[in-house]
């Protein structure tokens, strides 16, 4: 007994909430001819239904109002119900409709500057999508309008199941009842409702029942037909005598001559909105065909039956839509109850909310098959209001297009030159800039138009940064297209490169762009979090951790790690964009995009400013997994439970990876060969030309040439080894710049030797060309040695910095010592050479020897040249002048 007062109190409070906030002001006049006009809303979307009554010049009342929520819904006024006028309408009230309404009643006040003269159509309008949820057309000449264009209101409503309702209104004067069947069913499902055989037992309500079967045809038009049940089976016709059994239309039982003559149901209206089918029909109460129909006693409690299930369309044998078996499967249901149609019932609290609200055809794009885009008349556009012509894809009206990230989509545009296709973030289209709004255009534009004879191909490749929902529209007309669902087709499709990290437990994906890199990591086993880091190990590395927080939200954060305990993990604030993290069956996958070089500006002291990625050099990547992560204070419980055993060196530019090694064998051979050439052979050849010319014969020349050519061959082979190992080279490296300069100078020397001028005859002065050539040959050769030393040291530094070779420091010292030894040898040889020349001058007493420059004038390269002509040896001796030094 106490529950009834409590329920009454709740109802009173609800009425106060709905009525108290929008009471009309006491000074509002009632001069408009629309005052007391009353009508019902036309349902367009979001299961909107209810009644409207204009109270006075500045307010109206809405009653029995149902509506599913929108994003930003307002009361909207327009001068007509066509597309152009509706879309150019205006907000008429401050009252918003941004939640679910269930059989609600409330009063709405117009804005002070709005009058009824300005409004011919009043609608519930969603501003972001320009959607009409439902509207009324105001007509002062028909104040009590009873015949509606799309009637959805009834006097009674009964819930048959969670997804099926029956509504009805009695018309006693016409001896009829109007019934509305409303079900959240599939577009190819039937809805059946009717009266059981009054003489049936409790277990056989279906047999002998008189039911109406409703549904929608392939073209989207509703239908209703009168059925009679003789057996628990689909309708079967005997080909011999034409008899029928099962769940069959009344007319089948009478044979082909009576088709349609015994159908006592009459279709009034039907629609399908938001995944909900609604069909309204009329049937007589007592004046029925007693053979296949049962009269309805409006005062009696009678058993009614209902069912939902799949329907079979007509074929060459049966011209009817025939129900298939019901019951037993999740999408089929049936039942019965006792109903008295004269008793008022309304237990339908709120709109019917279907799980799947999208009825439009779905086209899955294929990279190999183009999508043919045309235009045609609008019949079932999903987001009214809409223009008369809309876009068709593969002959389907405004379908939902589903594309995969990383998979190119080709549009063959044949919609006419007045329709320019584009893919946009704006749900309305038609160039958002014309409405002073911003939009992101992902493909297409003013040039994306064509006709059937000369179609225009538009290729669009959605990437990982493309939102999950975008739209295809015409650039020149609003609301011609519909949705594009962008799904993840697999990380391998979304990223250009991928490698499997150490121990085959984590896959690393990446795509390079001009100034940024997009990265994804996917674990191959269950974990609470996944971390990847750039470095030889987790300590002293930049790490990125992906995990699911306590609210089920995926998160990705960046850290600098300088130790092995929780206090050594420091949160950084890198500029991570397009961040996503998800888990499937406990397996973590996360993605993000970051700049290659963090733009820190003046804040260079931040740790993350040092996290620079050079795509031309390998990056070492390690990983770790653990049971739990936290975005706040970390503890030892957050430490990893499993980690990689060694880093993987990832070549970002090349798109490959290799396991970490102490020293790459091929690069080690490259370095040794370069040292052999520039540290031994080339210097030996130069020393031979400098200090062995005083020996008789051309041995110095042979040593010089053989050593130089041998060194050049070794240099070129070492260069090929490095290029083959790294699969290319980049001049951004200091070592590579020094190396190429050195090799260039080395290659000049053979060409220089081939082009040397002729040596002067004995006793003649060398020509200016010969002098220039000798200077050039000596300077280039010695410059090559100097630059080569710089290349050797920069190579050792590059090896130690980029490849973390442990003994690189010791190798540097060994190279320094070798250079010092060679320098000491050169100093010693230069000293001996000076002594030799000195002895040649003063070796025979205090006399000056004439022609003592003969050795220095010898040709450096000619093997045929001898120190002096044999025939002139005597004369050479005869030319010695003996002069006292103290003359």
**How, if at all, do strands 400-404 and 362-364 pair?**
parallel
Q: Is residue 146 over pLDDT 60?
A: no
**440 DSSP 8-state letter:** -
Burial (0-12, 13-18, 19+ Cβ within 10 Å), 380: middle
Cβ pair 594, 582 in contact under 8 A: no
| Over residues 465-481, mean pLDDT | 94
What whole-number distance in Å separates Cα of residue 227 and Cα of residue 251? Answer: 8
Q: What percent of the chain has pLDDT over 70?
A: 86
Q: What count of other Cβ atoms lies within 10 Å of the Cβ of residue 772?
A: 12
The CATH number of the domain covering residues in 665-842:
1.20.120.1770
Assign residue 504 a region: left if phi > 0, alpha if psi is -120 to 50, beta otherwise?
left
CA 441 to CA 421: how far, in whole Å? 11
Residue 49 near residue 134 (C-beta atoms within 8 A)? yes
φ, ψ of residue 716 in degrees (nearest 5): -65, -40
- Select the more confidently predicted residue: 685 or 619: 619
pLDDT at 125: 96
Three-state DSSP class for residue 651 = strand
Q: Which residue has the higher pLDDT, 678 or 574?
A: 574
CA nearest to 458, candidates 471, 469, 442: 442
- Which CA distances in Å does 874 have to 415, 867, 870? 105, 14, 8
CA quadruple 179, 184, 186, 190: dihedral positive or negative? negative
Beta strands 554-561; 333-339: pairing state: unpaired
What confidence tens digit (pLDDT) does each residue in 81-101 have? Answer: 999 999 999 999 999 998 999
pLDDT, tens digit, 9 for 90 and up, residues 334-372: 889 999 999 999 999 899 999 888 888 889 888 788 999
**Annotated domain spans of the chain:** 18-137, 156-339, 362-391+402-463, 495-659, 665-842
49: nearest Cα among 145, 127, 124: 124
DSSP character string of 246-288: SEEEHHHHT-GGGTTTT---EEEEEEEETTEEEEEEEEESSS-
Specify the CATH architecture of the domain 156-339: Sandwich (2.60)
What b-and-e string marks burial along 170-190, b requiring 16 or more CB atoms within 10 Å of the CB? beeeeebbbbbbbbbbbeebb
CA dist 235 and 252 (Å) reads 9
Q: Which two tokens stand for residue 563?
A: 């130790």
Q: What is the pLDDT of residue 774?
A: 80
Instruction: Tell me the per-residue pLDDT of 121-134, one tens digit each, with 9 for 90 and over.
Output: 999 999 999 999 99
Question: How far out from the chain centre does Cα 47 lie?
Answer: 33
Burial class of residue 828, CB neighbours in 10 A (0-12, 13-18, 19+)? exposed
776 vs 757: CA distance, rounded Å: 12
Q: Is the pLDDT of residue 855 over 50?
A: no
pLDDT tens, position by position, 532-568: 999 888 888 999 999 999 888 999 999 999 988 888 9
Question: 575 pLDDT exceeds 50?
Answer: yes
Say whether 146 sits in a helix, a strand or coil.
coil
Distance between CA 324 and CA 800 in Å, rounded?
76
Structure tokens at 582: 């998800």
Tens-digit pLDDT profile for residues 401-438: 999 988 899 999 999 999 999 999 999 999 877 777 88
Question: Contact at 8 Å (CB) between 463 and 510?
Answer: no
Distance CA(752)–CA(269), nearest Å, equals 98
User: Is 762 a residue whose pLDDT tops 60?
Assistant: yes
* H or E, element range at 741: helix 734-754
CA dist list (Å): 20 to 16, 27, 244, 335, 438: 5, 17, 61, 42, 39
Instruction: Give the gyration radius of the chain's Cα atoms.
Output: 46
What is the model's pLDDT at position 143?
A: 56
Rounded CA gap, 94 and 213, in Å? 44
pLDDT of residue 58: 94
Other beta carbons within 10 angstroms of residue 504's beta carbon come to: 9
Angle at 767 between CA 765 and CA 773, to 5 degrees: 125
Query: How far is 581 from 249, CA to CA, in rounded Å?
Result: 55
Burial class (CB in 10 A: 0-12, 13-18, 19+), 401: buried
Burial per residue of 17-33, b for 16 or more beta-carbon CB atoms within 10 angstroms, e otherwise = ebeeebebeeeeeeebe
Biggest distance spanned by C-alpha atoms of the chain: 161
Mean pLDDT lowest among 70-79, 111-120, 241-250, 507-516: 241-250
Query: What's the CA gap between 449 and 415, in Å, rounded?
Result: 7
Nearest to 54 by CA among 147, 117, 132: 117
The total of other beta-carbon atoms located within 10 Å of residue 349's CB is 10
Which strands, in side-by-side order, build the sheet including 362-364?
Answer: 362-364, 400-404, 483-487, 469-474, 421-424, 441-444
pLDDT at 145 exceeding the cut of 70: no
Q: Who has greater pLDDT, 576 or 839? A: 576
More confident residue, 861 or 337: 337
Report CA-CA distances (Å) from 259 to 250, 255, 262, 319, 693: 9, 7, 7, 10, 124
Instruction: Say yes or no to pLDDT of 591 above 50.
Output: yes
**pLDDT value at 240 more than 60:** yes
pLDDT confidence tier of residue 737, bands split at 50, 70 and 90: confident
In three state form, how does the secondary structure of 475-493 look?
Answer: CCCCCCCCEEEEECCCHHH
- What backbone torsions phi and psi does residue 456 show, to the nearest 5 degrees? -110, 125
Q: Which of 362-376, 802-816, 851-865 has the highest mean pLDDT?
A: 362-376
Cβ count within 10 A of residue 308: 27
For residue 869, pLDDT over 80 is answered with: no
Among residues 317, 315, 324, which one has the least CA distance to residue 190? 324
Burial class of residue 468, CB neighbours in 10 A (0-12, 13-18, 19+) = exposed
Place of tokens 């653990």: 626
Q: What are phi and psi of 179, to 5 degrees?
A: -120, 135
CATH architecture classification, 495-659: Sandwich (2.60)
> Identical fold at 156-339 and 495-659?
yes
Confidence bin at 804 (pLDDT 50/70/90):
low
Q: How far is it, in rounded angstroms, from Cα 534 to Cα 542?
A: 5
Mean pLDDT of 159-184: 94
Terminal CA-CA length for the chain: 150
For 86-240, list the strands marked E by DSSP: 90-96, 101-109, 121-126, 131-137, 156-161, 164-171, 176-183, 189-195, 210-216, 222-229, 236-237
Beta strands, E only, 313-462: 322-323, 333-339, 362-364, 371-377, 389-393, 396-397, 400-404, 409-413, 421-424, 441-444, 456-460
Whole-number mean pLDDT of the chain? 83
pLDDT for the residue numbered 687: 83
pTM above 0.85, yes or no: no
Q: How confident is the model at residue 8 (pLDDT cuts 50, 70, 90)?
A: very low
Q: What pLDDT is stored for residue 199 in this prediction?
A: 83
Q: Tokens representing 504?
A: 């085959």
User: Which residue do the tokens 């239309």 mark?
Assistant: 249
pLDDT exceeds cutoff 90 at 486: yes
pLDDT digits (tens, 9 = 90+) for 772-798: 888 888 888 888 888 888 888 887 777
Which residues are CB-contacts of 277 (< 8 A; sequence separation ≥ 6)?
181, 182, 183, 184, 185, 187, 189, 191, 214, 215, 216, 270
Alpha carbon of residue 88 to chain centroid: 34
Q: Distance from CA of residue 42 to its chain's centroid?
A: 39
Average pLDDT over residues 366-382: 91
DSSP one-letter string for 668-696: HHHHHHHHHIIIIIHHHHHHHHHHSTTSS
pLDDT band of residue 327 (cuts 50, 70, 90) is low
Res. 21: pLDDT tops 70: no
Other Cβ atoms closer than 10 A to 597: 12
Pairwise CA distance, residues 113 & 119, whole Å: 12
CA–CA separation, 242 vs 254, rounded Å?
9
- Residues 331, 189 contacting (CB under 8 angstroms): yes
Quick one: tokens of 185?
A: 């069913």
């Amino acid at each position: 007994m106490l529950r009834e007062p409590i329920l009454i109190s709740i109802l009173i409070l609800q009425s106060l909430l709905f009525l108290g906030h929008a009471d009309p002001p006491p000074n509002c006049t009632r001069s408009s001819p629309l005052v007391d006009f009353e009508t019902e809303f036309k349902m367009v979307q979001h299961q909107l239904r209810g009644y409207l009554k204009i109270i006075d010049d500045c307010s109206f009342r809405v009653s029995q109002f149902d509506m599913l929520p929108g994003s930003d819904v307002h009361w909207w006024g327009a001068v007509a119900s066509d597309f152009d006028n509706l879309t150019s309408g205006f907000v008429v009230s401050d009252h918003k409709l941004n939640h679910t309404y269930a059989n609600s009643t409330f009063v709405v006040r117009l804005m002070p500057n709005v009058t009824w003269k300005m409004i011919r159509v009043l609608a519930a309008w969603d501003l972001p999508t320009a959607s009409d949820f439902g509207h009324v057309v105001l007509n002062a000449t028909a104040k009590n309008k009873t015949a509606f264009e799309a009637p959805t209101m009834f006097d009674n409503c009964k819930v048959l199941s969670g997804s099926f309702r029956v509504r009805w209104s009695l018309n006693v004067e016409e001896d009829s009842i109007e019934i509305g069947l409303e079900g959240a069913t599939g577009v190819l499902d039937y809805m059946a409702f009717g009266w059981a055989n009054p003489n049936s037992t409790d277990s056989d309500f279906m047999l002998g029942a008189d039911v109406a079967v409703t549904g929608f045809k392939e073209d989207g038009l509703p239908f209703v037909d009168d059925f009679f049940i003789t057996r628990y089976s689909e309708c079967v016709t005997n080909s011999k005598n034409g008899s029928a059994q099962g769940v069959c239309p009344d007319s089948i039982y009478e044979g082909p001559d009576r088709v349609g003559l015994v159908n006592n149901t009459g279709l009034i209206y039907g629609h399908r909105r938001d995944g909900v089918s609604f069909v309204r029909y009329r049937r007589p109460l007592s004046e029925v065909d007693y053979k296949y129909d049962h009269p309805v006693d409006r005062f009696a409690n009678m058993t009614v039956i209902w069912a939902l299930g799949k329907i079979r369309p007509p074929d060459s044998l049966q011209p009817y839509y025939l129900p298939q078996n019901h019951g037993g499967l999740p999408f089929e249901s049936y039942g019965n109850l006792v109903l008295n149609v004269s008793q008022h019932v309304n237990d339908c609290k709120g709109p019917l909310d279907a799980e799947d609200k999208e009825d439009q055809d779905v086209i899955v794009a294929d990279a190999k098959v183009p999508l043919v885009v045309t235009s045609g008349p609008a019949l079932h556009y999903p987001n009214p209001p809409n223009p008369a012509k809309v876009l068709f894809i593969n002959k389907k009206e405004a379908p939902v297009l589903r594309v995969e990230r990383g998979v190119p989509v080709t549009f063959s545009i044949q919609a006419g030159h007045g329709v320019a296709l584009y893919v946009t973030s704006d749900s309305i289209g038609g160039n958002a800039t014309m409405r002073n709004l911003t939009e992101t255009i992902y493909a297409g534009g003013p040039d994306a138009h064509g006709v059937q004879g000369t179609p225009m191909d538009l290729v669009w490749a959605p990437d990982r940064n493309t939102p999950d929902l975008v739209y295809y529209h015409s650039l020149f007309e609003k609301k011609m297209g519909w949705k594009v669902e962008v799904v993840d087709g697999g990380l391998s499709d979304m990223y250009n490169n991928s490698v499997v990290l150490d121990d085959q437990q984590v896959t690393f994906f990446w795509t390079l762009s001009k100034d940024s890199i997009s990265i994804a990591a996917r674990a191959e086993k269950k974990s609470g979090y996944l971390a990847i880091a750039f470095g030889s190990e987790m300590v002293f590395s930049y790490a990125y951790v992906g995990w699911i927080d306590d609210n089920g939200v995926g998160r990705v954060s960046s850290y600098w790690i300088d130790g092995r305990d929780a206090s050594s993990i420091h949160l950084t604030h890198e500029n991570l964009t397009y961040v996503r993290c998800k888990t499937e069956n406990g397996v973590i996958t996360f993605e993000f995009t970051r700049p290659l070089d963090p733009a820190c500006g003046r804040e260079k002291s931040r740790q993350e400013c040092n996290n620079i990625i050079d795509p031309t050099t390998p990056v070492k990547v390690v990983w770790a997994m653990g049971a739990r992560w936290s975005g706040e204070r970390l503890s030892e419980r957050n430490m990893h439970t499993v980690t990689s055993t060694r880093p993987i060196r990832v070549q970002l530019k090349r798109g490959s990876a290799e396991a970490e090694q102490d020293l790459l064998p091929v690069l080690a051979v490259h370095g040794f060969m370069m040292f052999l050439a520039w540290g031994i052979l080339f210097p030996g050849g130069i020393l031979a030309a400098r200090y062995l010319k005083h020996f008789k014969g051309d041995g110095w020349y042979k040593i010089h040439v053989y050593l130089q050519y041998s060194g050049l061959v070794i240099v070129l082979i070492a260069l090929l080894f490095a290029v083959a190992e790294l699969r290319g080279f980049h001049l951004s490296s200091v070592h590579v710049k020094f190396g190429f300069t050195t090799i260039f100078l080395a290659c000049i020397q053979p060409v220089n030797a081939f082009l040397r001028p002729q040596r002067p005859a004995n006793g003649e002065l060398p020509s200016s060309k010969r002098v220039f050539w000798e200077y050039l040959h000596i300077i280039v050769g010695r410059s090559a040695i100097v630059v080569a030393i710089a290349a050797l040291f920069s190579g050792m530094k590059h090896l130690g910095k980029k490849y973390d070779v442990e003994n690189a420091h010791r190798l540097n010292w060994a190279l320094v010592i070798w250079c010092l030894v060679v320098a000491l040898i050169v100093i010693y040889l230069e000293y001996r050479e000076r002594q030799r020349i000195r002895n040649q001058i003063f070796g025979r007493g205090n006399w000056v020897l004439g022609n003592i420059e003969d050795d220095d004038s010898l040709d450096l390269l000619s093997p045929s040249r001898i120190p002096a002509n044999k025939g002139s040896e005597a004369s050479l001796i005869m030319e010695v002048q003996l002069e006292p030094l103290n003359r």
